Amino acid sequence: MKVNKIDWKNSSILVTGGTGSFGKKFTEIILNEYNPRRLAIFSRDELKQSEMKKKFPDGENSPMRYFLGDVRDGNRLKRAFNGVDIVVHAAALKQVPATEADPFEAVQTNIMGTKNVIESAIDSGVSRVICLSTDKAVNPINLYGATKLVAEKLTIQANAYSGDRQSIFSCCRYGNVVGSRGSVVPIFKEQKQKGEITITDERMTRFWITLDQGVRFVIMCLENMKGGELFIPKIPSTKITDVAKAIAPKSKLKTIGIRPGEKLHETLISSDETRQVFEYEDHYVIEPSYHTWGYYRHKNGKKIKEDFTYTSENSLWELDINQIKELLNSDENS
């Protein structure tokens, strides 16, 4: 299948879960820099949509559109996908403790919701679908990570289901987003006021990416996807204790123990995935194991050695406290 270059100005784009941190930043950048014909926000919270409309109104001369709906509802998705060229699938239940406590709900949204997005996209003739994933999908130990792993597998194999139709599917996988809802950053900032920061384990490390970087990475993936690949950015890691010290240097650190489903370190590429990995200047691409839809592909990338792993513990790019402060400032100013 030949993949055409994106004509952004004539494209109709839809973002599932579009009222979240990612969706709002994506909307800002796409409207300001790409001027699409239409940008639709699909989400289930009418209050968040009404608040978002204040900044991005959907008047007569605006490209903005808003759809109330849930990815669990396939019929509603098909109606919303009518005439859409590009879908960014960002909707998910992502709070680890919440998904551990209510696993059926996470499965309904993260797995069955992704299945509905795929089937609705194929049936509606959507050209490109990209699914946002997480480092927690690699060797998962919590339900959130497990559901995102399944969502990745469904999305990649959707290229076989689309057959000779025009829809292509890919994923992007990255680490913690600085300042997003549920991130440790706003929690530490709030705890700073009390003079005590809670750390689950002093050895813990995490990958980090700003919202601006995350959105621009997804846009790059959309522009370069051929269908079936999984994109991973080259991003820094930090010790959680250093993040706490950067945010609240005068606060006391209190270790409270690892929560259910929490890892000491995260992985963006496992050793078992490296046989399909190609390296580029600022990202990696994992090609699919099964090329059942028939062509390939990222010939300009450098093949990675099979003993390679990409973890927050042994990352080649670890930030010190001053660099963490710069990262936090860049996120606040973006």
Q: What are phi and psi for residue 54, nearest 5 degrees?
A: -65, -35
Chain mean position to CA 225: 15
Strands (E), the chain: 12-16, 38-43, 64-68, 86-89, 128-134, 168-174, 176-177, 196-199, 205-209, 230-233, 237-239, 252-255, 267-269, 277-279, 283-286, 302-303, 310-311
What does DSSP say about strands 302-303 and 86-89: parallel, antiparallel, or unpaired? unpaired
Residue with tokens 């606060």: 251
Instruction: Provide the β-strand partners of residue 277.
Output: 286
> Rounded to an integer, what distance in angstroms lies between the CA atom of residue 208 and that of residue 175?
5
Helix (H, G, I), strand (E, B) or coil at 80: helix
Catalytic positions, written as ranges: 136
Number of other CB atoms surrounding residue 65 within 10 Å: 14
Instruction: Give Cβ neighbours of residue 292 (< 8 Å, ≥ 6 apart).
Output: 159, 160
